[in-house]
Structure formats: C-alpha cells, structure tokens
C-alpha cells in the first residue's frame, strides 16, 4: 500500500503531493513499482496535529481521486463519512479509518452500504495528545482486545467480516518500546484472524533507533516490514514502494522457497 498524503503538513512527505497532478503521477509510479493499492489522505494524523474541515479535506483529495479513477486501485485514508462517500463514488475500494469507526457515526453505514473494504486501526487518545503519555499494562493484549471489539462493532453495523482488515496503529499513542513489542508479538494480532495492515513507514521510532530524520528512514522501515511479513502481516503501508517491494519479494522467496524471475530493469 503506497502512501499519497495530499497535505501540506504530513510528518515525512508534507507538501510533496499537495498538487493533484503531482499526487496522481506519484500514485501511478507507485503502482508501476509494485504497489497493489495507494492510500490517499487529506488530513495529517501526525502527533500534535489538529484536524482539517470537511471542505478542506474534500478540496485536497477529490481532484486526486478524479485523476486516478478507473486506473489505480485506491484506498481513502479518512475518518469522515462524507469524504469516504465521495471517494467510494469516485472508485475507491477501501476505507482506511484511523479511528476504527469511533469518529464519525455515519462512517460505518457508508462502508456497509457501498460494500467497501475497511481497515480498523488502533489509536490510544487522539493525534493532538496521543504521544504525551502513552500507557498500557500489556500493549499487545490491549491492542488485540480493542481490534476484536471494533471488528465486532463493524460487523454489527453491517460491514461483512471478510471485508475488514486490522492494524495495530504503530506510532499512534505508543512509545518506542510499545511499537517494538507490537512488532515482536505481531502474531498475537494476526491471531485475530483478519488480514493485518502494518504502518511503520518513516515513523519517529525508526528515527529514534537510527538517528535518521525522515525521509531518510527507508532501511529501518524495511527491517520492520520484513519482520512483520515473517510474523504474518499482509499489507504494508509505505512511502517508499520500490525498495519495499524488493525487500518483500526476497523475504517471501526465503520464507516459502518459491520464487519467479523478475525481468531486469
Ligand atoms: N499511519 C499514518 C496514517 N494513516 N493508516 C493506517 N492504517 N496505519 C498507519 O500506521 C497509518 C495510517 C501516519 O503516517 P503518514 O500518513 O505518513 O503521516 P501523516 O498522518 O502525518 O499524514
């Protein structure tokens, strides 16, 4: 899953894809590099951020979705029902909701009515304050219990279970230790029985471990994604698609013993 943030302020690529034409070109390049889907978002959820209005979010993402329509598989990264509704009407297939249906009460209905796929992500607190003092007794079991509860709520609201994936929400109300423990024990999230999405790309815990500023965190991101693959994750949300596809190809061949030759480019 390639990340296209149509924002001026995302933590690692703010402003890069703020122009709709530039965003559409980058999305097509991600697909050419091997992404299965691109995740288009118009609101940064970086630590400390405030939200944007509905109008502003629509102004950012609709022109990009119009350009990608019918051409590129799209996920919409939003917590707002109206943004999801417009995005799905423009061909998006998946709603990636970092609030796990706790934000906009209308969102579950939009997903259920349209038959879209849904990603439910764990977050402790809200973006503005989530990194101030994250606390858990046992981060992995608490995140797993939360995702199971939100999965049941989504199914109750009419979203078929087969259409739902879950995400432990790396960096969303978590210390470095919490993120590492979630990655180390990711099999306990996989045990929920739904495909697991993992989003470590360029995040600050990688900066703390390596001393690198974003966007220079590709190698650290690759390490986390290979380890997550080995523990059963199925979707990898990344800014740097090409190196990720290469790393996951080699890791998959190693884990399975199966491979096919890729033409040299
Ligand atoms: N992380 C971010 C945003 N959306 N969605 C899922 N499912 N999982 C994640 O880990 C995740 C997400 C934050 O990263 P980014 O989009 O790069 O930054 P920003 O929120 O500043 O736009």
2 φ, ψ to 5°? -85, 145
Q: 17-26 long-range contacts, Cβ below 8 Å, gap at least 24?
A: 17/64, 18/60, 20/63, 20/64, 20/66, 20/67, 21/67, 23/64, 23/67, 24/64, 24/67, 24/68
Q: What is the pTM of this model?
A: 0.97
Omega before 215 within 30 of 0, i.e. cis: yes
d(CA 46, CA 75): 19
Q: How far apart are CA 234 and CA 211, in angstroms?
A: 28
99 CA distance to ligand 1 centroid (A)? 11
What integer pLDDT is reported at residue 66 of this predicted model? 98
Per-residue pLDDT of the chain (265 residues; tens, 9 = 90+): 999 999 999 888 888 888 999 999 999 999 999 999 999 999 999 988 889 999 999 999 999 999 999 999 999 999 999 999 999 999 999 999 999 999 999 999 999 999 999 999 999 999 988 888 999 999 999 999 999 999 999 999 999 999 999 999 999 999 999 999 999 999 999 999 999 999 999 999 999 999 999 999 999 999 999 999 999 999 999 999 999 999 999 999 999 999 999 988 7
Residue among 1, 2, 3 to mutate when testing ligand 1 (max atoms within 8 A of CB): 3
Helix, strand, or coil here: 262? coil
Beta-carbon contacts of 217 under 8 Å, excluding residues fewer than 6 positions away, are: 12, 201, 202, 203, 206, 207, 210
Q: Which residues are catalytic?
A: 203, 237
Packing angle between helix 218-230 and helix 176-184, nearest 10 degrees? 40
Residue 141 is predicted with a pLDDT of: 98
Nearest-atom index, ligand 1, CA of 200? 10
Q: Which atom of ligand 1 is nearest to the CA of 171?
A: 10
How far is residue 237's CA from residue 228's CA, in Å, rounded to a whole number? 12
Q: Is 11 in the pocket of ligand 1 (CB under 6 A)?
A: yes
Indicate if ligand 1 lies below 6 Å from the C-beta of 237. yes
């Amino acid at each position: 899953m390639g990340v296209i943030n149509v924002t001026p302020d995302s933590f690692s690529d703010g402003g890069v894809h703020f122009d709709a034409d530039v965003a559409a070109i980058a999305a097509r390049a991600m697909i050419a590099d091997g992404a299965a889907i691109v995740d288009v978002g118009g609101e940064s959820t970086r630590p400390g951020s405030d939200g944007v209005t509905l109008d502003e979010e629509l102004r950012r993402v609709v022109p990009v979705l119009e350009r990608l329509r019918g051409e590129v598989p799209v996920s919409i990264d939003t917590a707002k029902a109206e943004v999801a509704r417009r995005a799905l009407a423009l061909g998006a297939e998946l709603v990636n909701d970092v609030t796990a249906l706790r934000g906009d009460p209308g969102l579950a209905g939009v997903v259920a009515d349209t038959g879209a796929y849904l990603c439910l992500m764990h977050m402790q607190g809200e973006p503005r304050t989530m990194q101030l003092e994250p606390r858990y007794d046992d981060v992995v079991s608490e995140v797993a219990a939360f995702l199971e509860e939100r999965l049941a709520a989504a199914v109750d609201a009419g979203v078929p279970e087969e259409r739902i994936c879950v995400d432990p929400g790396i960096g969303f109300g978590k210390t470095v230790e919490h993120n590492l423990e979630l990655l180390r024990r990711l099999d306990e999230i996989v045990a929920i029985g739904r495909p697991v999405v993992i989003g470590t790309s360029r995040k600050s815990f990688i900066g703390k471990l390596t001393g690198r500023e974003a966007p220079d965190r590709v190698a650290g991101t690759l390490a986390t994604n290979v380890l997550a693959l080995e523990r059963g994750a199925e979707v990898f949300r990344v800014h740097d698609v090409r190196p990720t596809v290469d790393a996951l190809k080699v890791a998959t061949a190693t884990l399975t013993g199966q491979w096919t030759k890729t033409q040299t480019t």
